[in-house]
Structure 1
């Protein structure tokens, strides 16, 4: 049942079968995990630029335990000009697998290299109160479900965060940040057999491919971050002795994992 429109996708996936098979195997070991993207955006302020020095993003599942902080891997450290992140623009600071459960708090850790550029063009170092040296702690208290992709938006309010100090020409940074945590669509989970070789699994909306992956150990697959709707799943085996298959009418709901019955290719 291979459709001509899918052949080039399948062939491209086959060329990467070894790598993707290894990747799929590692993903299968992430059972009990959710995926979290942390993004930064801004409400405008009356300056030419405001640069913050992002160093870490931490999460805590127990707000009463200050030793329970866990650093998110792969944070994109560096300077970010908040005033370029307005009008619904944002930038992703981290994209990581995390344990499912209830996130109590998140902490944004900044370095010392924070600056404001005034409307007169003066670049002034932002002083940070000593009490915030361990990071800006933000209450979340929201659950994340296994197998779902979430996006946490840190909405930085520049107008309320940057303050002129008593001394002329000095400014203080006291971050005021609003948090928004939302599920990014839903997920599709299932298995395809036999599992001797990986099978390409494609999610189609009509003729458009919206997501794809390879089956891993035991034939399992998981596709995340799919917009709510009804899709068809196309299974294209790398084992040329097996035929492709299609499963129609797969319904995806935001914040939920759609379980698909195990498929046996013949």
Structure 2
């Protein structure tokens, strides 16, 4: 997904046991008090989908965050001084394994990492990758090489992105844009050049619906002058696009299998709400 809004910024990042996650998982309910000097983080992973591949399998080994302990205001800082001495690296608890990113679309996400870390503004997220990365295209598996053999993905933040959903507890979503993150070179090899955007649900809007019939195999674009997002419906035709700024959008349904394309205009999107378009029926 691509966004030009002030809050939702794309961050171009450099790629720094096998478990495939198919369903979303949420933070556990916890009524305990967060200890003084700490904060609890919950980091989710979701996907900006593509129809170019059957699977995009990424081997994630660890996740850590850089905490700025000098600044606990968590306000936006465009020019953070990275030479500060009051910074701490903390690790999040994760389930290491291979994540099939294409299962994390249409509003599905998984809890990538969580844990108690030092109190302060989060300036960086670093994801360490293993070597068991691959893509599946037309039912054939290909290695997914790490660009320049970098084994880490570094996501720089402004400090204000996290959602303070309860006292001392914060959460953030990472939108992994598979369509822009997998690059095929002239020699036919595939490389991972991660393109990730951080967002929170309560400060963005969403559009959803259902496409019928299911054998139209549609690709959906939700767009306006400053923002374009994509959806690849499930087999039952349901789809959702999240992380949109408030505004007026159009939805373009690129249909296949002999069905006619369809465009719906003047769709209003509001932060904190889901706009439901209901069932869109395609015709030949």
Q: Do the aligned partners of residues 183 and 150 (structure 1) sit closer, same or farther apart at CA in structure 2, a change above 3 Å counting? A: farther
Query: Does 2:138 match 1:124?
Result: no
Q: How far did 1:72 drift?
A: 2.2
Q: Do the aligned partners of residues 41 and 60 (structure 1) sit closer, same or farther apart at CA in structure 2, a change above 3 Å counting? A: same
- Residues 81-100 of structure 1: pairs in structure 2 closer than 5 A: 81-100=100-119
C-alpha separation in 2, matches of 1:141 and 1:83: 28
Tell me which of 58, 61, 77 is aligned to 1:52: 58
C-alpha separation in 1, matches of 2:140 and 2:147: 22
Q: Do the aligned partners of residues 69 and 114 (structure 1) sit closer, same or farther apart at CA in structure 2, a change above 3 Å counting? A: farther
C-alpha separation in 2, matches of 1:112 and 1:127: 8
Q: Do the aligned partners of residues 181 and 148 (structure 1) sit closer, same or farther apart at CA in structure 2, a change above 3 Å counting? A: farther
C-alpha separation in 1, matches of 2:179 and 2:139: 18
Aligned to 2:40: 35
| TM-score, normalised relative to structure 2 | 0.49
Provide the secondary structure at the position in 2 that maps to 1:35: strand
Query: Does 2:174 match 1:154?
Result: yes
C-alpha separation in 2, matches of 1:66 and 1:49: 41
C-alpha separation in 2, matches of 1:157 and 1:100: 30
C-alpha separation in 1, matches of 2:55 and 2:110: 16
Aligned residue pairs, count:
157
Query: Does 2:155 match 1:138?
Result: yes
Q: How far did 1:32 drift?
A: 2.4
My pick for the range that moved more, 55-64 or 90-99, is: 55-64
Query: Does 2:95 match 1:76?
Result: yes
| TM-score, normalised relative to structure 1 | 0.53
Q: How far did 1:130 drift?
A: 2.8
Aligned to 1:109: 128
Q: Do the aligned partners of residues 28 and 66 (structure 1) sit closer, same or farther apart at CA in structure 2, a change above 3 Å counting? A: same
Q: How far did 1:177 drift?
A: 0.4
Contact kept in structure 1, 2:66 and 2:90, CA below 8 Å = no
Q: Do the aligned partners of residues 29 and 156 (structure 1) sit closer, same or farther apart at CA in structure 2, a change above 3 Å counting? A: closer
Which has the larger Rg? 1
C-alpha separation in 2, matches of 1:70 and 1:164: 34
Cα deviation per residue 1:106-162 (whole Å; 9 max; x = unaligned)? 1111111111000x21101101023632x1111112256793321111100000000
C-alpha separation in 1, matches of 2:44 and 2:34: 26
Gaps in structure 2 of 5+ consecutive residues: 1-29, 69-80, 204-284
Larger RCO: Structure 1 or Structure 2 (Cα < 8 Å, ≥ 6 residues apart)?
Answer: 2
RMSD of aligned C-alpha atoms?
2.8
Provide the secondary structure at the position in 2 that maps to 1:142: coil
